[in-house]
Amino acid sequence: MLDCKIDVLLGKMEVDQAIRGSDDMRLKTKYNNAIYVIQRALALYSIEEVALSFNGGKDSTVLLHLLRAGYFLHKGEQSCSNGGLTSFPLRTIYFESPSAFPEINTFTYDAASRYGLQLDIIRSDFKSGLENLFKANPIRAIFLGVRIGDPTAVGQEQFSPSSPGWPPFMRVNPILDWSYRDVWAFLLTCKVQYCSLYDQGYTSIGSIHDTTPNSLLCISDSSGHKEKFKPAYLLSDGRSERAGRVKKCSPISQSSPVAEDGLDDPESQVKRMRTGSAIAVGDEIL
């Protein structure tokens, strides 16, 4: 158990050290800005009052490690003196769906175990799930992995209150100004684990009903064998990130929306369900 706690502590430190030791000045700037947003939120709310919305996608994986580093830096010398850095006490919300890729579920539960996450699993619709969660926990802010360009990012800022009719909480978006390139620069620089689907050509992951590998990453094979794809981080143009998303009518996906690469805004997911979309998925969740 002690070795596990030491690994958690070292992981937080290694992320910060990896970024600061990088020659990528753009990544350093994005990292510092995101850490500032996180530390500002942790100064406004106690650790018991905040939560992370995690879905196993690349954006939420970046956010998870930013939060771990930000919490370590926020606690600083105070935690070093009392031993408080051996755990990461942030609540983590996971909207589980039967339409999710098995690899996403596996990665999410593995990450929860590896980093000691307090996982709150919601299997009902998003709004009622949050309402029930809030009744039992005094959550006032939720960290999301929304990025500019995501369908759910319209009108959002780094700190955006929830909409009328929803449980009152602050949406905190530390990577709002990050690009596809920034996400992969962080994951590769910090050498953190991510969902295996991204090494199979998937660049934007929704449900099993609307997601395929990105054809721009397909490796030509004249032999007629099974198609092969390059990993997601080799996509040269981030504007084609969602090229693997397709529209397929599926009764299951209509009733069981799946969060996508990061943390989608739960409010936006419900709005899409209410408009009767053929595919109701969470785009770049939180």
Give the model confidence (pLDDT) of 181-221 as tens digits.
999 999 999 999 999 999 999 999 999 999 999 999 999 77
Segment 27-52 mean pLDDT: 96
What single DSSP character describes residue 160? E
**pLDDT confidence band for 41 (50 / 70 / 90):** very high
The pLDDT, as a whole number, for residue 13 is 75
**pLDDT confidence band for 152 (50 / 70 / 90):** confident
**pLDDT confidence band for 31 (50 / 70 / 90):** very high
Would you state the structure tokens that stand for residue 139, as one six-digit string?
């959550």
Least confident of 61-75, 83-97, 206-220: 83-97
**pLDDT confidence band for 261 (50 / 70 / 90):** low
Would you state the structure tokens that stand for residue 152, as one six-digit string?
């759910």
Tell which phi-psi region holds residue 259, choosing left (phi > 0), alpha (psi between -120 and 50) or beta: beta
**pLDDT confidence band for 82 (50 / 70 / 90):** very low
| Residue 45 pLDDT > 90 | yes
What is the overall mean pLDDT for the chain?
81
The pLDDT, as a whole number, for residue 29 is 97
d(C-alpha 119, C-alpha 25), whole Å:
34
Least confident of 8-12, 117-121, 175-179, 252-256: 252-256
Q: What percent of the chain has pLDDT over 90?
A: 59
d(C-alpha 210, C-alpha 151), whole Å:
15
Check the CA dihedral 106-195-64-254 and report its sign. Answer: negative
Nearest alpha-carbon partner for 257 in 228, 278, 242:
278
Segment 97-114 mean pLDDT: 94
H helix runs in 83-220, sequence order: 102-115, 126-136, 180-190
Segment 128-137 mean pLDDT: 90
Nearest alpha-carbon partner for 69 in 107, 44, 38:
38
d(C-alpha 226, C-alpha 220), whole Å:
10
Would you state the structure tokens that stand for residue 203, as one six-digit string?
């660049």
The pLDDT, as a whole number, for residue 144 is 95
Segment 40-54 mean pLDDT: 95
**pLDDT confidence band for 286 (50 / 70 / 90):** very low
